[in-house]
Amino acid sequence: MSIRYDQEKKLLTLETRSSTYQMQVDRYGFLHHLYYGRQVDGANMAYLNSSYDRGFSGNPYDVKFDRTFSLDTLPQEYTSFGVGDFRINGLSVVNGDGSYGADFRYIGHKILPGKYAIPDMPAVYDNGGEAETLEVSLMDPVTRLMVKLRYGVFEDKDIITRCAEIVNWGQENVRLEKVASLCLDMPFGKWDLVHFHGRHCMERQVERTPLIHSIQTIASKRGMTSHHHNSFVILCDHETTEDSGDCYGLMLMYSGNHKTEIEVDQLENTRVVMGIHDAQFLWTLPPGESFHTPEVLLTYSPSGFTQLSHNYHTIIRHNVCRGKYKMARRPILLNNWEATYFNFTLDKLLHIAEQAAELGVEMFVMDDGWFGRRDSDNSGLGDWYVNEAKLPGGLAPLIEKVNALGLKFGLWIEPEMVNEDSDLYRAHPDWAFSLPNRHPMMGRNQLVLDLSRQDVRDYLYECIARLLRENRIEYIKWDMNRSLSDVYSRQLPRERQGEVSHRYVLGVYELMDRLTTDFPDVLFEGCAGGGGRFDPAILYYSPQIWCSDDTDPIERIKIQYGTSFGYPVSTMGAHVSASPNHQTGRTTPLKTRGVVAMSGTFGYELDPNKLSDEEKEEVRRQIAAFKKYYWLIQDGLYYRLTKPQDDGFYSAWQFVAQDGSESLINMVVSSPQPNSALVHVRLKGLDPDGVYIDEGQEQRRYRGSALMYGGYTFPVLHGDYPSMQIHLVRVGEAVKD
Ligand code: GLA
């Protein structure tokens, strides 16, 4: 039983392998947060709550003579603005009479088998018997506004999910100005914040700063998760490292505007509030209706970031990603984008596909430029029918020939967008977001379709479904190439315009849901100008996401490193591209590009006809190596061995089979130096008593413990950004005296 209720003490305890989460109902009905941290084996943590009279921290009316009791200092599970908790709050509500605030008191709870689902939204799922749900109901006795706090407990996987449902049991409409998924009080402790910032072509860069007495915000108002601030943060001790120390992960399963606030309050307590951004959010909730927030995936590790990442890797791989390709080996693809951009013909594509097939590639993906009048990124979006000038006879001749080469065929689409210069826009200008009587902001010269509208979604569904019905398309890259602005729906009344951003996201989910349900054999890859929508919600619909538009391997090391804190390698789209690299102009060896792309879904994004014979041999070697290491890479445990931003001249990372039987160590000299020091890394995760050989150097044998505590020394490598992979195989156990 991972959830327990102590009736006498009114204690609710959630237990996972390494953590305990506890809350308590008091005699007034307030729900106190007591503890989230290392397993305490069911101990009652109520003693942690001590309260003193604090100036300017008032007291609820019913406790008025107890000046020590204040919502402003009490650790709580969920809080509302306006009734005496002056810290950041989870909820801001305007009641029917115009007043602000809700006074939530406990009215009951349920413990249910399995993991709750969230209507119309992606959520972590239970594979059968591995999760339990706690649902705690709090109600405002006057307005009868209810909040149901839901907790999904995955005991073995060390994950707790949280979300909230607001139900209006009153007689009047209420307006929700802010509804967070979670409020997490962390009394005591001084924490560092780790977050993942960036920009287009430079996503998820790791930054770690100590919290100060302030309200710090990690957020996106771009209508998307964003390249700029991923909706994932870690709070950790100042001393926490990869292998030791307390850390907490909070990851929002949502793809629109998001906001994580972290406040260190007057008494040095930390509070985190995470959920949909309240900017341009105003939701009218009529009597009898509910509002559901997206959920947060929480994890706690007592032993550093590596364990925290492993917890996320496991839950995302097994309980977020779905469908045929969740566990199946994904095809090694070649995408024509960086090979041709918009400039291609049928013959040119076939020439590429022929050479790709010859080298061992398994799927050919035609990227942007195949539809409408799409000869540049200024026109055509919205017209999802073939550009016959480029592809006479439609998709069929291309797909048939590609299939005849033994390759699967994949296609790029960007369904959420429209160009002004398109038949779709000319027919339905009102389908694109714009503010009344104004010109909208252009982004890549395109506009965003109003996916809050059913008619728009139905139209898009039909376009894409027709393509998939009529053609043998086995992969779809679903792109999204601008931030949302001018968000205004012509189908909603003025007082409901604050709902459009969220309804847009729900619309995207509905469309993705219909297509992935109706075409279960298609492999979907998410994309938003690279990794602008890299989040667990998109991974619910597509098991992989194009990680970044930057394919330079040296930059990619940093991007994939940051991404790895929350997301498994099996989700990171990574390709070998041409050199010099198109984004940075840097020249790197093909081998190094292969080593980096192999720590992802692996594929190519270049014209293979331009490779020398020697390079073609290298590609064949890479493909053979990727196939050989596939399960070790995708299912193995991932270890970061260096911090690319400050560990000097090389980067290293490692995969270890879950049973310790083999390991792949990857090392790239990311900043070559003359007369350099030796590259020496302490390996991780090996069987300490196992005897390993380094494949290719079988005469040397190493004890697992020796490699982990003494380390492994690489030979000195010379040249521009050289790299090396070491494959260790366990050949026996050490004989002990
Ligand atoms: C985005 C994607 C790229 C490519 C282009 C096509 O930038 O991230 O991979 O598909 O669009 O326009």
Q: Confidence class of residue 737 from pLDDT cuts 50, 70 and 90? A: low
Q: Which 8-state DSSP code applies to residue 10?
A: T
- Name the CA dihedral angle for 545, 551, 556, 560, rounded to a multiple of 10 degrees: 10
Q: Which residue owns the Cα nearest ligand 1 atom 11? A: 529
Q: What is the mean pLDDT of residues 557-582?
A: 98
| Contact between residue 33 and residue 185 where contact means Cβ atoms under 8 Å apart | yes
The three-state DSSP-derived secondary structure of 392-415 is CCCHHHHHHHHHHCCCEEEEEECC
Q: From the alpha carbon of 605, which atom of ligand 1 is closest?
A: 9
Ligand 1 atom nearest the C-alpha of 477 is: 10
User: Residue 647: pLDDT above 80?
Assistant: no
Query: Which residue is it, tokens 């049928």?
Result: 346
For ligand 1, atom 8, name the residue with the nearest CA.
529
The answer to whether 145 and 167 have CB atoms below 8 angstroms apart is yes
Q: How far apart are CA 657 and CA 197, in angstroms?
A: 31
- Closest residue by Cα to atom 2, ligand 1, is 529
* Ligand 1 pocket mutation pick from 375, 377, 527, 550 by most atoms within 8 angstroms of CB: 527
Q: Give the end-to-end CA distance of the chain in Å, rounded to a whole number.
A: 43
Residue range 436-442: mean pLDDT, rounded: 97
pLDDT at 64 over 70: yes
Give the Å distance between the CA of 549 and the centre of ligand 1: 7
CB contact at 8 A, 556 and 572: no
**Distance (Å) from CA 560 to ligand 1 centroid:** 18
Q: At what angle do helices 553-564 and 590-597 cross, to 10 degrees?
A: 10
Q: How many other CB atoms are there within 10 angstroms of residue 427's CB atom?
A: 10
For a pocket test of ligand 1, which of 341, 342, 368 has the largest count of ligand atoms closer than 8 A to its C-beta?
368
The rounded percent of the chain whose pLDDT value lies above 90 is 97
- Rounded Cα–Cα distance for residues 547 and 551 (Å): 9
Q: Note the pLDDT of residue 736.
A: 74
Q: From ligand 1's centre to the CA of 33, what distance in Å? A: 45
**Residue 181 contacts residue 502 (beta carbons within 8 Å):** no
| pLDDT tens digits, 21-31 | 999 999 999 99
Mean pLDDT, residues 524-550:
98
Among 328, 329, 326, residue whose Cα is nearest residue 314? 326
Q: Ligand 1: residues within 6 Å at CB?
A: 337, 367-368, 377, 412, 479, 481, 527, 529-530, 546, 549
Confidence band, pLDDT 50/70/90 cuts, at residue 189:
confident
pLDDT digits (tens, 9 = 90+) for 117-132: 999 999 999 999 999 9
Nearest CA owner, ligand 1 atom 6: 368
Among 342, 444, 481, 483, which residue has the most ligand 1 atoms within 8 Å of its CB, making it the best to mutate? 481
Ligand 1 centre and the CA of 529: distance in Å? 5
Task: Using alpha carbons, select from 328, 327, 301 the residue that is nearest to residue 316.
Answer: 327
Tens of pLDDT along 77-94?
999 999 999 999 999 999
Close Cβ partners of 142 (under 8 Å, ≥ 6 residues apart): 103
User: Looking at residue 37, what is its pLDDT?
Assistant: 98
Q: Give the model's pLDDT for residue 696.
A: 83
- Quick one: average pLDDT of 258-286? 98
Catalytic residue numbers read 535, 615
Report how far ligand 1's centroid is from the alpha carbon of 394 (Å): 22
Task: Write the pLDDT tens digit of every residue in 128-170.
Answer: 999 999 999 999 999 999 999 999 999 999 999 999 999 999 9
Quote the ligand 1 centre to 341 CA distance (angstroms): 9
In sequence order, which residues have a C-beta less than 8 Å from that of residue 266 and are 6 or more positions away?
Answer: 54, 57, 213
Question: What does pLDDT average to over the chain?
Answer: 97
